[in-house]
């Protein structure tokens, strides 16, 4: 079923200091995309990395003709990297996940196989979260909080493992530069009436680097951004006025 549903696909990876994992992600994405279609591209957005990510990507470009690298000279944030990747995507479908290897691109086939009549896009949900206890507890509280706040219908808005038609991405005007882009993306897609299928996916321990989230400054900034999204998407519904 997946081969018939997926005409062409862009696999997008935001990468920030992912030098130890991005090579395996590109290799796995090449295999995963090739299982679905012969028409694919892999896009890595190097978002101002200060480790050896750039050197790894330069070597990978010599091995994978389907690889395109977008370089941000300064870090623009997770949302800024995703927006660059989405804008550069040229295929009919866009798959994205993180460059830190906590998700396995080989599970892309499970997303593609969930496509059927009445399904517009596919969202993964974590079977179990392989993080520290603190991250697990905070993640659960965060998900319940934002689901109540924004009225999400999907079960795991925090799972960055998604397959979305490019035509839908072209309809949503994404503005977030931070990780809050996940809330913005799902809310705008759901509010346009599109339906997500959901499939379980693995979540794996971090093998390289450290999370950028758990600092007081970043947590405060995230809460402020969530408040801003709530005002614009739930209270003022700016995105819906623009689509009427």
Model pLDDT for residues 111-125, shown as the tens digit of each residue: 999 999 999 999 999
R_g of the chain, CA atoms, integer Å: 17
Phi, psi of 30, deg, nearest 5: -60, -45
Containing structural domain, residue 106: 2-242
Residue 130 confidence (pLDDT) above 80 = no
Residue 240 confidence (pLDDT) above 60 = yes
How confident is the model over 22-26, as a mean pLDDT? 98
CATH number at residue 181: 3.90.550.10
Phi, psi of 123, deg, nearest 5: -120, 135
What is the value of pTM for the model shown? 0.89
pLDDT in tens, 189-198: 999 999 999 9
Per-residue pLDDT at 122:
98
What is the count of structural domains for the chain?
Answer: 1
């Amino acid at each position: 079923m997946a081969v018939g549903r997926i005409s062409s696909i862009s696999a997008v990876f935001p990468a920030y200091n992912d030098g130890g994992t991005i090579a395996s992600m590109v290799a796995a994405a090449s295999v995963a995309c090739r299982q679905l279609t012969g028409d694919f591209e892999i896009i890595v957005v190097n978002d101002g990395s200060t480790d050896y990510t750039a050197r790894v990507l330069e070597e990978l470009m010599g091995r994978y003709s389907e690889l395109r690298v977008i370089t941000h000279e300064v870090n623009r944030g997770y949302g800024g990297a995703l927006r660059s990747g989405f804008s550069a995507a040229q295929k009919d479908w866009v798959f994205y996940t993180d460059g830190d290897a906590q998700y396995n691109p080989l599970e892309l086939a499970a997303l593609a196989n969930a496509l059927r009549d009445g399904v517009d896009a596919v969202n993964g949900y974590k079977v179990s979260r392989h993080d520290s206890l603190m991250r697990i507890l905070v993640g659960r509280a965060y998900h319940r909080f934002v689901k109540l706040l924004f009225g999400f219908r999907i079960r795991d808005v925090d799972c960055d493992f998604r397959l979305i038609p490019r035509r839908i991405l072209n309809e949503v005007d994404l503005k977030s530069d931070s990780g809050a882009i996940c809330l913005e993306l799902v809310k705008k897609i759901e509010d346009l009436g599109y339906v997500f299928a959901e499939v379980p996916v693995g979540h794996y321990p971090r093998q390289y680097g450290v999370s950028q989230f758990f600092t007081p400054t970043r947590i405060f900034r995230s809460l402020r951004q969530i408040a801003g999204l709530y005002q614009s998407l739930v209270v003022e519904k700016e995105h819906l006025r623009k689509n009427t």
